[in-house]
């Protein structure tokens, strides 16, 4: 953390001021050949470019930078996101650092609890998680898991992670890992406030159900899906959120994905982006650019078109709390990505204004460490644990 960072009680301005809708970007860290030049960036270039992108996000006034988690080529998104997040925490002052996916299925919940609490301290609370099962099937056997247990793993592992962050001493027994007896995860979350958790899914109804049960956020990365599908998933989450007693359906905490390519002139945007779309591993060689943009939230056009399309999302899902865009993918060179960021910075005031229009005062703001701390009230920094014995790690607390 840089030397002029404020103490966590006065976390930087994005957390201190009211931000009803957090606007940010996420990166999946793909290493993709630029179809217009034939050049493929090195892994080193792609990693350093990710850092530059995060710093640019803070520079233009975004609220969130999120990174994916991958364990295989052609991706260099970190296998252990807290490594990147700690580095970015030292290079930024304000922006929230999130994961775009933390693999709750194949990571040990104990390790997740420890690593993300640690980086939460380093970042003075500017950390949250988006949990998911990932989109790479072979990752399961790489970590000794069976993909057929994906949903069960997501449910059981998060149950343990949730307990580890909220209970000083955990006794736990489950199906997929060894039991825990009198276990304390260290360090404890900053101010006893765990990082806020978003549960991410694009197709599995069990995940919005899980998010609703715990009163956590639900993130639907709708970059490949129609808004009708997205609307159904979020409606399910809102109804179940209220069912579990967390508030009204409109109180549920919702996030959406999106993607765009902008130029001042819409024809220039379409002409420039088309080869990247046509050859992109994630959606190339399928529907045409025109078909894809008409069916999904991908917007290729002028800044005004991006504003209008993005602000239309709330017509489908209601007022929500987080909007993240994918901008650095499909082989786009860093220079082009930074130009896209500058254009995003130019329209940012209009996006904020549009999100605020018609938003009832009783709709929850996007959660931050500071807002969660304020809602919880006073806390104590007193160290309250006694050393355990060297054999079992437990102690006589009587």
> How sure is the predictor about 146, in pLDDT bands with cuts at 50, 70 and 90?
confident
Find the mean pLDDT for residues 152-177.
94
Q: What is the pLDDT of residues 276-298, one digit of tens each?
A: 999 987 777 788 999 999 988 89
Q: What is the pLDDT of residues 170-211, one digit of tens each?
A: 999 999 999 999 999 999 999 999 999 999 988 788 999 999
**pTM attached to this predicted model:** 0.90
Let me know: does 363 contact 20? Beta carbons within 8 Å.
yes
Domain positions in the chain are 8-376
What pLDDT, on the 0 to 100 scale, is given for residue 366? 94
Kindly provide the residue ranges of all beta strands, DSSP E only, lying in 28-163, ordered along the sequence. 64-67, 96-99, 102-103, 127-132
Give the whole-angstrom CA distance, residue 394 versus residue 398.
12
Beta-carbon count within 10 A of 159 CB: 16
Give the whole-angstrom CA distance, residue 300 versus residue 268.
10
Q: What is the pLDDT of residues 343-356, one digit of tens each?
A: 999 999 999 999 99
Q: Give the tokens for residue 376.
A: 């919880």
Superfamily of domain 8-376 in CATH is: Luciferase-like domain (3.20.20.30)
Answer whether residue 12 shows pLDDT above 60. Answer: no
Q: Bigger pLDDT: 90 or 140?
A: 90
Q: Give the tokens for residue 342.
A: 């500058």
Rg of the chain over all Cα atoms, to the nearest angstrom: 21
């Amino acid at each position: 953390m840089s030397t002029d960072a404020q103490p966590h009680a006065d976390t930087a301005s994005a957390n201190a001021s009211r931000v009803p809708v957090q606007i940010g970007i996420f990166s999946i860290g793909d290493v993709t050949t630029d179809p217009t030049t034939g050049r493929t960036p090195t892994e080193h270039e792609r990693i350093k470019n990710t850092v530059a992108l995060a710093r640019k996000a803070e520079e233009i006034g975004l609220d969130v930078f999120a990174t994916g988690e991958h364990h295989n080529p052609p991706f260099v998104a970190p296998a252990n996101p807290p490594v990147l997040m700690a580095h970015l925490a030292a290079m930024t002052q304000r922006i929230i650092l999130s994961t775009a996916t933390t693999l709750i299925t194949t990571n040990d919940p104990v390790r997740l609890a420890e690593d993300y609490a640690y980086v939460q301290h380093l970042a003075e609370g500017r950390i949250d998680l988006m949990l998911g099962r990932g989109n790479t099937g072979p990752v399961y056997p790489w970590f000794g898991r069976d993909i057929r247990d994906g949903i069960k793993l997501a449910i059981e592992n998060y149950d343990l992670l949730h307990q580890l962050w909220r209970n000083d001493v955990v006794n736990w027994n489950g199906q997929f890992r060894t039991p825990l007896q009198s276990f304390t995860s260290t360090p404890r979350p900053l101010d006893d406030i765990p990082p806020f958790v978003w549960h991410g899914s694009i197709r599995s109804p069990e995940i919005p159900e899980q998010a609703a049960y715990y009163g956590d956020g639900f993130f639907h990365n709708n970059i490949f899906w129609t808004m009708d599908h997205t609307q159904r998933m979020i409606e399910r989450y809102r109804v179940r959120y209220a069912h579990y007693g967390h508030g009204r359906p409109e109180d549920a905490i919702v996030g959406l994905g999106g993607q765009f390519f902008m130029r001042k002139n819409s024809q220039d945007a379409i002409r420039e982006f088309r080869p990247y779309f046509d050859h992109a591993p994630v959606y190339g060689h399928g529907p045409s650019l025109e078909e894809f943009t008409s069916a999904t939230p991908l917007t290729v056009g002028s800044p005004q078109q991006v504003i209008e399309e993005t602000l239309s999302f709330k017509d489908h899902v209601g007022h929500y709390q987080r909007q993240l865009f994918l901008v650095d993918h499909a082989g786009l060179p860093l220079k082009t990505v930074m130009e896209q960021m500058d254009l995003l910075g130019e329209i940012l005031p209009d996006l904020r204004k549009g999100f605020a229009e018609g938003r009832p005062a009783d709709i929850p703001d996007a959660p931050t460490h500071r807002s969660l701390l304020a809602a919880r009230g006073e806390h104590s920094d007193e160290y309250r644990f006694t050393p355990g014995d060297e054999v079992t790690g437990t102690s006589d607390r009587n």
